[in-house]
């Protein structure tokens, strides 16, 4: 019953056309710091994969190897990707927080999305859908749904010298 309700919620959110006006308020009206960190993470990981594919332009290198994620994240965003800021220990656990956006295939990082990089509404919808599911789980007493994201997850890039 809970899974069916979660699927209905996700379907409803994904059909919202104007994320700035859902019953008179923006879709993100109830977001907390954790939600902003997750939408940023989704978008940055998506952009990193899109940029990598464009920059490399090689069929034999469809994505970034797991061991190079930190390097390319730093290269593209001028900041470090630290899973501990998101309350997890590994890149794989970090990816699980945004499993609707990223995937791993044979240790190669990829994205599940086919939207345009300018479609910020998609990332907002995904984050809101996950927030609602997480809130429902917490209300049912599932403490494993509680996020432990630190403010440092929203770090800004280091200015170029």
pTM for this prediction: 0.85
What is the mean predicted confidence (pLDDT) over 141-147?
94
Strands 64-65 vs 108-111: parallel, antiparallel or unpaired: antiparallel
CA distance 28 to 24: 12
Residue 4 has pLDDT above 60, yes or no: no
**Domain range summary for the chain, segments of one domain joined by +:** 2-154
CB-CB neighbours of 42 under 10 Å:
23
CA distance 11 to 16: 9
Tokens at 98, concatenated: 């945004």
Residue 160 has pLDDT above 70, yes or no: no
Q: pLDDT digit string (tens) for 24-49? A: 889 999 999 999 999 999 999 999 99
**Residue 24 CA to its chain's centroid (Å):** 26
Q: Among 53, 50, 30, 54, which Cα is nearest to 42's? A: 50
Residue 78 has pLDDT above 90, yes or no: yes
Residue 1 has pLDDT above 70, yes or no: no
Position 63 scores a pLDDT of: 86
Residue 94 has pLDDT above 70, yes or no: yes
Please, which pLDDT band fits residue 3 given cuts at 50, 70 and 90? Answer: low
Residue 132 has pLDDT above 70, yes or no: yes
The pLDDT mean for the chain works out to 87
Selected residue with higher pLDDT from 114 and 67: 67
Considering the chain, what percentage of its residues have pLDDT values greater than 70?
A: 91
């Amino acid at each position: 019953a809970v899974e069916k309700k979660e699927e209905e919620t996700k379907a409803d959110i994904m059909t919202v056309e104007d994320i700035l006006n859902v019953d008179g308020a923006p879709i993100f009206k109830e977001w907390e710091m954790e939600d902003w960190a997750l939408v940023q993470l989704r978008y940055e990981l998506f952009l990193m994969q899109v940029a990598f594919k464009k920059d490399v332009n090689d069929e034999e290198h469809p994505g970034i190897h797991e061991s190079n994620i930190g390097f390319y994240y730093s290269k593209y965003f001028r900041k470090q990707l630290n899973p501990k800021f998101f309350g997890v220990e590994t890149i794989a656990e970090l990816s699980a927080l945004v499993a609707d956006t990223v995937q791993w295939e044979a240790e190669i990082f990829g994205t599940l999305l086919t939207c345009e990089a300018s479609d910020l509404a998609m990332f907002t919808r995904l984050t809101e859908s996950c927030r609602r599911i997480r809130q429902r789980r917490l209300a049912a007493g599932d403490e494993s749904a509680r996020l432990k994201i630190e403010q440092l997850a929203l770090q800004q890039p280091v200015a170029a010298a």
